[in-house]
Structure 1
Amino acid sequence: MTDGDDDSGAELTIDDEIVARARIHAREVLREHDLEIDRASLEWSVTTRARRRAGACRWDADREVATIVLTRQAYERYEWSAFAGVVRHELVHAWEFQRFGESGHGPRFRERAARLEAPRHCPTFSEPRYVLRCLSSGCDWRARRHRASKPVKVPDQYRCGSCGGSYEVEHAESGRTWTTASGFGGARAALGETW
């Protein structure tokens, strides 16, 4: 057997490593904290499509199976201790789904996450592409966006999430700002391929 090969001769991938480490960590956490999760009804996968979420837990109610989806880019950017926190966070979601058929970040989640020393919210692993910032004096509301959603494209049709005032959108990489749909189009055209 050569380095990177398993007994069957197939080469192991980074995704195999992520799932293996996460499963080992999960087994230790479940044993140490007596968290009742049916491991036979727990699946694991890795994605490269996520832009900001380090992990997610999906519930298939028909099959009664929770799938923990971990993001390769987060695994590559985080230290293991931070990524292990993501695994514990998603384990709490899996526990809630299996036990209650639903999951969120409410009091039940917070209490269980604290027991497991899991973060209530996982940190994003990438910088936002856009920053929304309130224009009202005295309001420090900000929102981050990774995609050009409607509030990014047509900010004059939306309001500040805190005070209800107008806001501007900043293209984080260039520093260009706009407050209207035409401003969005102008910024996009001016940036061209660097958009």
Structure 2
Amino acid sequence: MKFLIIIIIAIVIILGIKTYNQEQWQKDAMSDTWYDSHPEETAILISRCKDQKATLQACEAVKQFKENNLSLSEIYAIFQRGQQSLDQKNYQEAMKYYLKAAKYNNFDAINNIGYMYSHGLGVEKNPQKAFQWFLKAAKLGNPMSMYAVGIDYYYGKGTPKDITKAKEWLSKSANAGYSDAKNFLNQIQ
């Protein structure tokens, strides 16, 4: 498995994502590996690999999962425990699970940590920390976090006000299909 990861990383670096088509990536990533029995998780990773940076992040995530013997479904289960705890208003427990899932770059968990800091749920309300968590999840491709980052830039919440960056992040979120971002962009233009 480690050999396959090294090969994939080398291919991505040498060829670059623009010359290395998605079908070939999928064939290479899935042949005779753990991915054969986990096609849904593989499809999720591949769909997030639209540029070279995302591809390298996905490779790093796969490496972390395998080194720690955790599958994507196990990471998702950790996130879901956090979600259940949040729903039950057990905020400390939710934060514990979200932080654990965040170690594996689960961008939904990272987004929810930002949400908890933004609203003071189980932690002291801290717009700066909220912004940093939202930004991390946004950079990993979470459309809701992209929206939160755009809103924070627009209003100067947790970060200096920057309308240009706000529109940039709101556009990324809208392009990822997040309707709240589309609506907000329409209102401010």
The verdict on a shared fold, with TM-score over 0.5 as the criterion, is no
**Bigger relative contact order, structure 1 or 2 (CA pairs below 8 A, ≥6 apart):** 1
Q: Which has the higher strand share?
A: 1
Q: Which has the higher helix share?
A: 2
The structure having more radius of gyration, on CA atoms, is 1
